[in-house]
Structures are given as C-alpha cells and as structure tokens.
C-alpha cells in the first residue's frame, strides 16, 4: 500500500506549496512538444514508451527489472523519492507510471489531480526550460500484488468476490470495434469507460467520491471485492486502478497486456 506523506491524489495548490522539498520529484508524461512549451517548475520529462514492454501481439507489458532500474535511476528516483506524476491526457500515462512504480516496489507516489489542465488553467507557475534529471540509484523489489496475468484471471472467472472491470469504450467492450484477433470482453466483465471518472468541468480532475460510487455501485464494483482492471494494454485501466485506490479499494489489481494479451490468445474464453 501507499506509504506517502503526500496524498495519493494531490491538488495543484498542495503540490505548488511542496515544490523544492527534499526527495520530491515531479514527472511530466505530457507530449514532448507540450513539455517544451510549459511544465510544472522542476518537472523532469518521461517518454511513455520507456515504461512499457512489447512482446507482440501483447502490448503494454511490464519491462524487465534491469530496464526499470535503468529508467527510474536515470529519472532521479531512489527509495526516498516521492514521485508526483501528471500528463496532458487526463491521467492515463501518469497513472501507468505510478502503477509500474508500485510493481517495482516503490510506493511513495501521487497523481496530480487534473494534470497539466488543472495546473495551467488555474494559474500555477509554469516554466519552459527542460530539466536535466539528477540520477539516483533505483533498486527494483518486485511486488506481485498490483498485477495479474491471464492465468490468474481465468482461475477467478465466475467468482462472486471478484469483479473484472473493462475500462475500454462500449464499442470495444461489445465487440463492434476490434483491436485484437478476437473481439468482445473477458467473460463476466462489466464496462466502465475510464473517462467516466474524469470531470471536464473541473479541469480533468477525478469526479467526487460520491459521484464515482454512484457510477460504480450499480455495476457491482464495490470495495469488498477484488477488482481487476483492464483495457487494451493497461494504459486507460491504470487510471482506473489509481481512482479505485483513491476511493479506498484495497483489493485492486491491473492486467498488463490486457485485451492485447487476452484477445489474441485462442485458448482463453471470450464473451
């Protein structure tokens, strides 16, 4: 679980007052051109492909330990670093970084609520000069808790205490849009498109806990269950993972590879 001094989801005002603190690292996962144009003061930039691995046809997998250690060390993360991540797309890439850190055994992290939209639109300080990271030494300590594979999911199919949460679009979920050999969804999964959690009227912040509970409860997504989130590659569903953790869900897991893994495996059932 998260052992942060800062909250799991941090507001722009609280981050601004914390800038410059020892062991605080702000990581920007925006498009490179947006980073060059404006970013949170002191933020280092990370290209999203650096934190995913591809073994076709499966996409969005977790890199090996050596790769993770190299990327996170170069970025300036060690065991004492508190990482605050943000992006310009609603939080998907930033959330995937945080989930990947947790898989690597690092739990000191926060998501900037609303990302660059909230930060820039609400008048917080911005800078344009790229920041060169100060390298540290990151040691990977693999944590299996946040992650599952297809074998784990197959064993859990049909269990009442397990909820499969498909965060793709309804068209992907029902099979009218196809991005794998097979279309459809994992049997028993319910559909919650990840953007339903985001409030455009509040600069792309997460909706309130009450609003989110009202959306999730009718789907059977409740905190007493184990919830497994997936999308096409575990990009969108990483955002849902962080959202559920923010709501107090403790038994949440993500499926790296997601539908690119399941939908391309003819041995697995599809609905």
Q: Which residues are catalytic?
A: 231
3-class SS at 80? coil
Distance CA 48, CA 95 (A): 11
Q: Which helix (H) or strand (E) is 156 found in, with range? A: helix 150-156
**Cβ atoms 186, 172 nearer than 8 A:** no
Pseudo-torsion of CA 63, 195, 148, 109, nearest 10°?
Answer: 60
Distance CA 18, CA 6 (A): 9
DSSP string of 200-232?
Answer: GGGTTEEPPHHHHHHHHGGGT--TTSEEEEE-S
Which two structure tokens, joined as six digits, stand for 208?
Answer: 């309130």
Distance CA 165, CA 150 (A): 14
Which two structure tokens, joined as six digits, stand for 237?
Answer: 């569903």
3-class SS at 53? strand
């Amino acid at each position: 679980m998260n052992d942060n001094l800062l909250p799991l989801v941090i507001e722009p005002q609280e981050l601004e007052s914390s800038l410059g603190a020892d062991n605080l690292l702000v990581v920007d996962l925006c498009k490179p051109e947006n980073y060059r144009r404006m970013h949170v003061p002191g933020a280092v930039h990370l290209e999203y492909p650096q934190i995913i691995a591809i073994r076709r046809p499966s996409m969005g997998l977790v890199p090996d330990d050596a790769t993770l250690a190299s990327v996170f060390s170069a970025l300036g993360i060690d065991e004492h670093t508190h990482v605050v991540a943000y992006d310009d797309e609603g939080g998907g890439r930033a959330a995937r970084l945080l989930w990947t850190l947790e898989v690597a055994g690092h739990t000191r992290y926060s998501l900037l609520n609303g990302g660059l939209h909230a930060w820039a639109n609400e008048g917080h300080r911005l800078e344009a000069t790229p920041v060169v990271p100060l390298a540290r030494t990151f040691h990977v300590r693999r944590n299996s808790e946040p992650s599952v594979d297809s074998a784990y999911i197959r064993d859990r199919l049909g269990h009442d205490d397990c909820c499969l949460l498909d965060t793709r679009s309804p068209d992907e979920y029902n099979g009218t849009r196809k991005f794998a050999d097979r279309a459809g969804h994992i049997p028993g999964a319910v559909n919650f498109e990840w953007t339903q959690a985001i409030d455009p009227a509040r600069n792309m912040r997460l909706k309130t806990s009450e609003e989110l509970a009202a959306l999730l409860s009718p789907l059977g997504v409740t905190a007493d269950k184990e919830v497994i989130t997936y999308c096409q590659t575990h990009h969108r569903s990483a955002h849902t993972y962080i959202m559920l953790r923010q709501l107090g869900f403790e038994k949440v897991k993500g499926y790296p590879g997601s539908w690119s893994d399941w939908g391309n495996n003819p041995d697995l059932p599809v609905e």
